[in-house]
């Protein structure tokens, strides 16, 4: 049984603030060496799904550069492989995707021309490992033309997820999209498997939204079954979720260490990290090509970062090729690529406001000048030069 996969990667990622000013949401670095898109691509590679279309839109440059011909995922092949598709129609530049349904519709020719039996639609901004062949097996057993992957998730997250009601046979009999409240325990994970011909018929009705114009009508017609997923899964929909999920790795990396479902990414080609005598590293992830001379605690440090003598980094995430100079202090901060924090600068300090998570964000290519203070919870736009205290 052949599967054609579409990875939805066109969202603007507004909730992720300055991290998506210059990159696609799915291209955000994660876990010290990966990009978020690596999870979907690795899952596909591990599942034998080798026909993959990534539907990109906002700021796709870094996503395109990262994926290239797909070699890290064994997708650089003559037949099949990975393709990045941007809005177009019959060879002409088209309007931006008007919704998830329209994104698939604008690429309907790929589905029509494919010899695939099934179409797998994935959200590219999620963190999980899964063998998609298990969905195919469940799908065939159910005899329904649509399968939705679901998981029991706390009701406090209703506003971010679709909620479903199941029959005794495990079929979906009601679908509530991002309700303010719901009694349904099961949530849709945004992972869908369609019989190819069934999806084509729905697309011929010119849908805008995948859920409202395809899935909910399918539920109403008794066409949808549920595949229950019980392992780790997270949707990176906001800065607090990104930060919490990243920092979770410092306590538990089990969802990255499945021998049956390895996670692949592009190799940096950098040398091993150098830990200088006198440095201190505790409960942290340090990637290749770094130089660590100062103190790092409870932090994730991406490739090529330099932390100088006397500098302190705590509860933070540092993206590639950033520099923290002598006696600078970084706390509870996400620092984007190629940021320079000069000597004795103080970033992310300040009072905790009634338990709220106040993450400091420093945009790509910014410079925090010598001795400057950037108070906890500040947001610095890319390419900024901070030469006055932000308090």
* Architecture, CATH, for domain 274-386: 3 Solenoid (2.160)
Cβ burial of 345 (10 Å; 0-12, 13-18, 19+) is buried
Q: What local confidence, expressed as pLDDT, does residue 235 receive?
A: 93
Numbered ranges of CATH 2.160.10.10 in the chain = 274-386
Numbered ranges of CATH 3.90.550.10 in the chain = 3-256
Q: What local confidence, expressed as pLDDT, does residue 356 receive?
A: 53
* Architecture, CATH, for domain 3-256: Alpha-Beta Complex (3.90)
Helix (H) or strand (E) segment spanning residue 81: strand 81-85
How many Å apart are CA 35 and CA 267, to the nearest integer? 12
* Half-sphere exposure (Cβ direction) of 247: Cα atoms closer than 13 Å: 17
Q: What local confidence, expressed as pLDDT, does residue 352 receive?
A: 55
The residue among 124, 122, 121 whose CA lies nearest residue 35 is 124
The answer to whether residues 314 and 299 touch, using CB atoms and an 8 Å cutoff, is yes
Q: What local confidence, expressed as pLDDT, does residue 79 receive?
A: 81
Q: What local confidence, expressed as pLDDT, does residue 181 receive?
A: 85
Take residue 317 and report the two structure tokens written for it: 């995430």
Tell me if the pTM is above 0.75.
Answer: yes
Q: What local confidence, expressed as pLDDT, does residue 318 receive?
A: 98
391 residues of the chain, pLDDT tens digit each: 899 999 999 877 788 989 999 999 999 999 999 999 999 999 999 999 999 999 998 888 889 999 999 999 999 887 889 999 887 655 555 567 888 999 999 999 999 999 999 999 999 999 999 999 999 999 999 999 999 999 999 877 767 789 999 999 999 999 999 988 888 999 999 999 999 999 999 999 999 999 999 999 999 999 999 999 999 999 998 899 999 999 999 998 887 788 889 999 999 999 999 999 999 999 999 999 999 999 999 999 999 999 999 999 999 999 999 999 999 999 999 999 999 999 999 999 876 554 556 899 999 999 999 999 999 999 999 999 999 988 8
- Per the DSSP assignment, residues forming a β-bridge with 244 are none
The residue among 144, 110, 118, 151 whose CA lies nearest residue 48 is 118
The residue among 149, 126, 128 whose CA lies nearest residue 138 is 149
Take residue 14 and report the two structure tokens written for it: 């507004």
Extract long-range pairs of 251-257: CB within 8 Å, 24+ residues apart: 255/127, 255/128, 255/129, 255/231, 256/31, 256/129
């Amino acid at each position: 049984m052949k599967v054609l996969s579409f990875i939805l990667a066109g969202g603007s990622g507004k909730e992720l603030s300055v991290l998506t000013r210059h990159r696609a949401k799915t291209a955000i670095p994660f876990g010290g060496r990966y990009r978020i898109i690596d999870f979907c691509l690795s899952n596909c590679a591990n599942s034998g799904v080798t026909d993959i279309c990534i539907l990109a839109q906002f700021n796709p440059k870094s996503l395109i550069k990262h994926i290239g011909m797909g070699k890290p995922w064994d997708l650089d092949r003559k037949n099949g492989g990975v393709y990045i598709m941007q809005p177009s129609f019959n060879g002409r530049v088209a309007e931006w995707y008007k919704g998830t349904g329209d994104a698939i519709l604008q690429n309907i020719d790929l589905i029509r021309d494919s010899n695939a039996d099934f179409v797998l639609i994935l959200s590219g901004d999620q963190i999980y490992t899964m063998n998609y062949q298990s969905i195919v097996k469940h799908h065939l057993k159910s005899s329904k033309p649509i399968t939705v992957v679901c998981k029991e998730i706390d009701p406090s997250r209703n506003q971010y997820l679709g909620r479903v009601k199941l029959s005794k046979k495990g079929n979906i009999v009601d679908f509530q999209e991002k309700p303010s409240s719901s009694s349904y325990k099961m949530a849709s994970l945004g992972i869908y498997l369609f019989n190819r011909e069934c999806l084509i018929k729905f697309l011929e009705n010119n849908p805008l939204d995948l859920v409202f114009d395809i899935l909910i009508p399918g539920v109403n017609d008794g066409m949808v079954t549920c595949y229950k997923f019980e392992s780790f899964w997270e949707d990176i929909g906001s800065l607090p979720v990104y930060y919490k999920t990243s920092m979770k790795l410092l306590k538990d990396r089990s969802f990255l260490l499945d021998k049956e479902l390895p996670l692949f990414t592009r190799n940096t080609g950098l040398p091993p990290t150098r830990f200088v005598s006198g440095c201190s590293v505790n409960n942290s992830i340090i990637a290749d090509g770094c130089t660590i001379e100062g103190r790092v605690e409870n932090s994730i440090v991406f490739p090529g970062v330099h932390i100088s003598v006397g500098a302190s980094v705590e509860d933070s995430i540092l993206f590639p090729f950033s520099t923290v100079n002598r006696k600078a202090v970084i706390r509870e901060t996400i620092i984007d690529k190629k940021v320079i924090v000069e000597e004795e600068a103080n970033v992310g300090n300040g009072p905790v406001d009634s338990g709220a998570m106040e993450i400091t964000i420093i945009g790509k290519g910014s410079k925090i000048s010598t001795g400057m203070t950037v108070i906890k919870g500040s947001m610095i736009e890319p390419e900024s030069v901070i030469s006055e205290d932000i308090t």
